[in-house]
Structure 1
Amino acid sequence: MSAPLPPNVHVSQHPCLLAKLSQLRSHSTPAREVKTLIHDIALIVGCEALGKVLTSNPGPTDKTPLGFEYQTSEILPASISLVPILRSGLGMVEAIQTLLPSPVPVHHLGLYREPETLHPVEYYNNLPNHISVGGSTACSLAIILDPVIATGGTCMAAIETLRQWGAERIIVLAVVGADKGVREAAASWPDGVEVWVAAVDEELTTHGMLNPGLGDVGDRLFLTIGK
């Protein structure tokens, strides 16, 4: 039995999420349902994560349609960015946008694993070039969206890119992660990163695939299986 996960790794126990995850694992689940299940799981994991990470602050007063005055609420931190990892992270964006009360920037990172070494290679980055302007950081909270954490290399590369960009804090939202990969991602910045996943799989194959895992989520979402 493996050692307990580090304190900055959080694994959901939500029964509805676990049932949806078992459906997502199935080879017979069609692409349309894969997309829906990724969205639903991201919504649940995101709700749990943001409920712990964000705080509310009193906002200005407003009036209801009947003219009654009430105190509004605002979330903190105010500076939030979503960072989906191409391609599969795109399947989680809409769910997190649904949770947040106001639109936030979406910055894409393109990373793939080199087939032989399994090391991450960055091929696309649309983060704003500045690190800080007028003493303000690039982002108070960056939310990495990536359905699968396998070796942890891609996740760690994304975390390092965001640290260099100037993010003060990072949370990683994933559907499933390998035990080894999740630990390494969490250890890459223990004081600044939290990893939230629906499940952790113990085994990682020599080809960097989780067992039982989900297969290649990008291929399943975009019907490119067998490319």
Structure 2
Amino acid sequence: MASLPPNARASQHPSLKAKLSQLRSKAASPREVKTLVHEISLLLAAEALSTALKSTEGPKNQTPLGFEYVSSTISPGNICIVPILRSGLGMVEAVQTMLPDPVPVHHLGMYREPTTLDPVEYYNNLPQHIPSSSEEDSSTLAIVVDPVIATGGTCAAAISTLREWGAKRVLVLAVVAAEEGLRKAASEWPEGSEIWVAGVDGELTKEGMLKPGLGDVGDRLFLTIGK
């Protein structure tokens, strides 16, 4: 694999590689698929957030024994999670687990037009979905979760939407990406976005599916294969 763009990261964690291999298997049951997507997301979020967040001092507190200590908080504090419907829903809980406090979850619904493979937005519940510079309306850090980056069109469209909404930075977490799609998504907003993936596949089929890939993760998560 050639070197990736500066704002794209492929994890080298051995546990992620092993779990990704398990997730690729067609023999994985729906329960195993759900668990593996969650566990991969948890490990990936731990890596990505270690560089995206900073620890800062908070107010003083006391332990149960009465000893005083200075609490820790994170910066930025204005964070949201944006799952791409529907498979991105399988990654939300893992990211929430890695954050010290609950954060808003805003949903984006997108699908690829079968002929052109271009992204089509069919649902958007970002607060006041208009270009805004208001700190109350937008987030300092928007974390996009979507298990698969194939052509990169959907991911690029999500980054563009969040940039227009007013997000100051966009962090994308994906289980696997096609190298071609990863480059396309990374080029959408190089100075304001960062993309972390657990694995990179080198090929896309003419239908826009990764090879070897994971299949349709949404169908595998929600038991709609063959619908």
Q: Is the pair's TM-score, using the shorter chain for normalization, greater than 0.5?
A: yes
**What's the offset of the Cα at 1:136?**
5.6
- Correspondence for 1:84: 83
Alpha-carbon spacing, 1:122–1:73, altered in 2? closer, same or farther (3 Å): same
**Equivalent pair of 2:132/2:164 in contact (CA under 8 Å):** no
**Equivalent pair of 1:150/1:208 in contact (CA under 8 Å):** yes
The percentage of counterpart residues that share the same residue type is 66
Paired amino acid for 1:165: W
- Correspondence for 1:21: 20
SS of corresponding position for 2:17:
helix
**Equivalent pair of 1:137/1:168 in contact (CA under 8 Å):** no
Q: After the TM superposition, which residues 1-227 of structure 1 pair with which residues of structure 2 at under 5 Å, given as runs?
A: 2-129=1-128, 131-132=131-132, 138-227=138-227
Q: TM-score, normalised by structure 2?
A: 0.97
**Equivalent pair of 1:9/1:195 in contact (CA under 8 Å):** yes
**d(CA) in 2 for partners of 1:95, 1:187:** 27
Alpha-carbon spacing, 1:133–1:13, altered in 2? closer, same or farther (3 Å): closer
SS of corresponding position for 1:73:
strand
Paired amino acid for 1:188: E
RMSD: 1.2
**What's the offset of the Cα at 1:131?**
4.5
Q: Runs (4+) of structure 1 moved beyond 3 Å?
A: 130-137
**d(CA) in 1 for partners of 2:134, 2:221:** 41
SS of corresponding position for 1:91:
helix
SS of corresponding position for 2:39:
helix
5+ unaligned residues in a row in structure 1: which ranges?
none
Paired amino acid for 1:58: E
SS of corresponding position for 1:177:
strand
Alpha-carbon spacing, 1:200–1:134, altered in 2? closer, same or farther (3 Å): closer
Alpha-carbon spacing, 1:50–1:134, altered in 2? closer, same or farther (3 Å): closer
Aligned residues: 226
5+ unaligned residues in a row in structure 2: which ranges?
none
Q: Deviations over 1:169-225 (max 9, x none)?
A: 001000000000000100110100100000010000110000000000000000000
Alpha-carbon spacing, 1:110–1:134, altered in 2? closer, same or farther (3 Å): closer
Q: TM-score, normalised by structure 1?
A: 0.97
Q: Deviations over 1:99-119 (max 9, x none)?
A: 000010000000000111111
